[in-house]
Amino acid sequence: MEINRTVSADQWQFLQNYTPARIARGRAGHSLPTAELLKFQSDHAQARDAVYSEIQISSLQEAFMSNFKIEVLSLQSEVKSRSQYLQRPDLGRTISQISRETLSKKDASEADICFVIADGLSAKAINEHSFPFLQLLLPKLQADNWKIAPICIVEQGRVAIADEIGFLLKASIVVILIGERPGLTSADSMGAYITYQPQVGLTDESRNCVSNIRPEGLNYVLASEKIFYLLNEIKGKKISGVQLKDEMANYKIL
């Protein structure tokens, strides 16, 4: 029996001009064309690699300290291994006893804001995007005389780990930059979660989220403007999460 190996075009192919999502990739018989199948396998491998990537603590510490003149602390969650991180989300939400003692011993005075940098599900995203993003945001805050607590870099951390860190450092607002769950078109997406009056036990409705921070998504300029706006709203209104309505004018991704 003769097998038809002709690659058929898809009438929805024009949509590829508007999205990187896998749509209208053509067919070869009952499957994808070989080139598209290989691309899918490559993107899947990159997403898996991102989950197991490691945060470059020393490089980030050097970049932050030399450029921002802010103290940088290295902390850990209660997670002991990457496999445990994936199986026990609860441990990734809590700092280790050693890290807790480190923060408790800090002679921290009240600060307006604390930045936490965590690997999350893609340390690759943090390694690539956290510094260039903060290069735009931190000068805006410093120019407005925000009092900034030490920057905390956390290994094996999840979003809620920032609440205890911000509380121990006496920060009114905590921002955690974290690697988001990799997708087949974005293995390096960084998210930012913002919480007013952080404390242990808060849940997601207490936070504001700005996601997909990367050059191909919400670029650094637009992300820094959006978060700067939210931070000023939170500081002025003393609320965050679902209570805070985003009234910033519509913006367009460049």
**Of the candidates 177, 174, 170, the residue with the CA atom closest to the CA atom of residue 153:** 177
DSSP string, 44-65: HHHHHHHHT----HHHHHHHHH
Is there a domain that residue 25 lies in? no
Q: Give yes or no for residue 251 having a pLDDT over 60.
A: no
Is there a domain that residue 184 lies in? yes
Mean pLDDT value across the chain: 89
Q: How confident is the model at residue 106 (pLDDT cuts 50, 70, 90)?
A: confident
Is there a domain that residue 35 lies in? no
Mean pLDDT across the stretch 48-74? 91
Q: How confident is the model at residue 119 (pLDDT cuts 50, 70, 90)?
A: very high
Is there a domain that residue 2 lies in? no
pLDDT score at 161: 97
The CATH number linked to 156 is: 3.40.50.11240
CA dist 108 to 33, 93, 111, 125, 199, Å? 59, 22, 8, 29, 16
Q: How confident is the model at residue 207 (pLDDT cuts 50, 70, 90)?
A: very high
Contacts of 141 (CB under 8 A, 6+ apart): 112, 113, 148, 228, 231
Mean pLDDT across the stretch 123-128? 96
Mean pLDDT across the stretch 74-86? 95
Q: Give yes or no for residue 112 having a pLDDT over 80.
A: yes
pLDDT score at 83: 94
The pTM for the full model equals 0.86
Q: How confident is the model at residue 253 (pLDDT cuts 50, 70, 90)?
A: very low
The domain of 125 spans 57-243
Q: pLDDT over 70 for what percent of the chain?
A: 94
pLDDT score at 254: 40
The number of beta carbons lying within 10 Å of the beta carbon of residue 105 is 9
The CA-based dihedral angle spanning residues 184, 160, 196, 63, taken in that order and rounded to the nearest 10 degrees: -70
Domain count, the chain: 1
Question: Residues comprising the binding site?
Answer: 159, 180, 209
pLDDT score at 136: 97
Over residues 143-199, the pLDDT tens digits come to: 999 999 999 999 999 999 999 999 999 999 999 999 999 887 788 999 999 999 999
Q: Who has greater pLDDT, 106 or 82?
A: 82
pLDDT score at 9: 62
Is there a domain that residue 49 lies in? no
Is there a domain that residue 36 lies in? no
Is there a domain that residue 225 lies in? yes
Question: Residues comprising the binding site for adenosylcob(III)alamin?
Answer: 159, 180, 209
Mean pLDDT across the stretch 61-90? 95
pLDDT score at 232: 96
